[in-house]
């Protein structure tokens, strides 16, 4: 008689974690609702799309999809290095910032080790900290911005190996000038690495992205092709940092993680600076329109250096959630922060003009429904 089947034995850590996805995607909601959204303006995607050069490059690369990708990401890594004026040994290419965050936590955080972030900041980072057994320590936002001084103080108090900040910020869209980030780097405690998430840096005004020495072992800068380059679907991001840290990624990374098609698209995108200028111009127009729609309904939008606007609904999180639900019911996909007091806002992406027309048509009715409770 065959032995009874024994289920897979998870580690104690994995067995203790919930099976969860940090973001409920619009596709998940569309399947549940049985219809698509008319305005997809909730995921901070670049609705204006990728460079035509990138599309052409990916189309050409698709014919050679039978080949493995270059596991060294050589051409793309060198192009990124040239674009930032650094040596290639300071550049690591990974599966989006999300994937890079996971690798950093895996390399530097063991069970029970403290990691510092802001309460309500980007949840995927928290997901990785939990997944590798780290202990998350959070500090509150100050005036709707992450608080560099409080983050550094907590890192010093906890002897944390990692401290995370996004500049410009997600989910609020706010930012700190470059000089404040430089002071934060200078204050990083010995043995701590600052993760500086700059996913939205290309949308920010001059004077936000600091000029940092890529050899500085205290900071790792993170960038992405998902935002201004309009390539969220191909999952390519990169890190700029000290060469010994960059080399260490080879110990843990998926060496075939960036597909041949993704490499081709990202390489063409970073070479098309004209497209970046066009996207920035469209984002400014859309951000201005979001502010005008909010103002027409008696609300304000927080100043933003990103491709979205956080609209302050003027009450508490429960009310803002009703506004969000009323918009979703009207086929307008938006999101909101998950932690008070940030959750008094809803986050609206810089969609195409026709999508913002739909938002303008539906916003007043959604607010009225939310007010009725």
Domain closes at, from 271, 301, 333: 271
Query: φ and ψ at 170, to 5 degrees?
Result: -125, 120
Q: Are 75 and 198 found together in one domain?
A: yes
Q: Are 267 and 287 found together in one domain?
A: no
Q: Are 146 and 293 found together in one domain?
A: no
Give the pLDDT score at 3: 61
Could you report the per-residue pLDDT of 42-57, keeping only the tens digit for each? Answer: 999 999 999 999 999 9
Q: Are 311 and 362 found together in one domain?
A: yes
Give the pLDDT score at 21: 82
**Residue 314 domain boundaries:** 23-47+274-372
**Which CATH number characterizes residue 281's domain?**
3.90.1150.10
Query: φ and ψ at 205, to 5 degrees?
Result: -70, 165
Query: φ and ψ at 244, to 5 degrees?
Result: -60, -40
pTM (predicted TM-score) = 0.95
Query: φ and ψ at 282, to 5 degrees?
Result: -65, -35
Question: How far is Cα 160 from Cα 224, in angstroms, rounded to an integer?
Answer: 26
CA neighbours closer than 13 Å in the CB half-sphere of residue 135: 9
Could you report the per-residue pLDDT of 278-315, keeping only the tens digit for each? Answer: 999 999 999 999 999 999 999 999 999 999 999 999 99
């Amino acid at each position: 008689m065959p032995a009874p089947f024994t289920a897979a034995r998870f580690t104690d850590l994995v067995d203790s974690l919930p099976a969860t996805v940090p973001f409920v995607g619009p596709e998940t909601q569309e399947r549940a609702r049985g219809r698509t959204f008319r305005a997809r303006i909730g995921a901070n995607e670049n609705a204006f799309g990728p460079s035509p050069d990138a599309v052409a490059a990916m189309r050409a690369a698709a014919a050679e999809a039978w080949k493995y990708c270059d596991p060294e990401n050589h051409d793309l890594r060198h192009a990124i290095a040239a674009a930032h004026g650094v040596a290639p040994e300071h550049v690591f290419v990974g599966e989006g910032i999300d994937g890079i965050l996971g690798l950093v936590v895996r390399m530097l955080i063991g069970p029970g080790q403290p990691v510092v972030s802001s309460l309500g900041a980007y949840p995927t980072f928290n997901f990785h900290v939990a997944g590798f057994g780290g202990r998350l320590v959070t500090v509150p936002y100050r005036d709707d911005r992450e608080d560099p001084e409080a983050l550094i103080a907590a890192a010093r108090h906890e002897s944390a190996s990692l401290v995370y900040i996004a500049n410009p910020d997600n989910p609020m869209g706010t930012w700190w000038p470059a000089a404040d980030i430089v002071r934060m780097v200078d204050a990083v405690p010995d043995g701590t690495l600052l993760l500086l998430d700059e996913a939205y840096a290309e949308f920010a005004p001059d004077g936000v992205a600091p000029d940092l020495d890529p050899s500085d072992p205290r900071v790792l800068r993170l960038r992405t092709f998902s935002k201004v380059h309009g390539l969220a679907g191909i999952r390519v991001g990169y890190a700029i940092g000290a060469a010994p840290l960059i080399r260490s990624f080879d110990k843990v990374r998926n060496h075939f993680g960036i597909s041949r098609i993704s490499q081709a698209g990202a390489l063409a995108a970073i070479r098309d600076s004209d497209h970046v200028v066009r996207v920035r111009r469209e984002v400014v127009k859309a951000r201005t329109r979001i502010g005008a729609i909010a103002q027409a309904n008696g609300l304000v939008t927080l100043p933003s250096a990103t491709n979205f606007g956080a609209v302050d609904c003027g009450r508490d999180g429960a009310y803002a959630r009703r506004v969000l639900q009323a918009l979703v019911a009207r086929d307008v996909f938006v999101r909101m922060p998950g932690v008070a007091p940030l959750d008094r806002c809803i986050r609206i992406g810089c969609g195409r003009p026709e999508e913002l027309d739909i938002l303008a048509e539906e916003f007043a009715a959604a607010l009225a429904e939310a007010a009725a409770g």
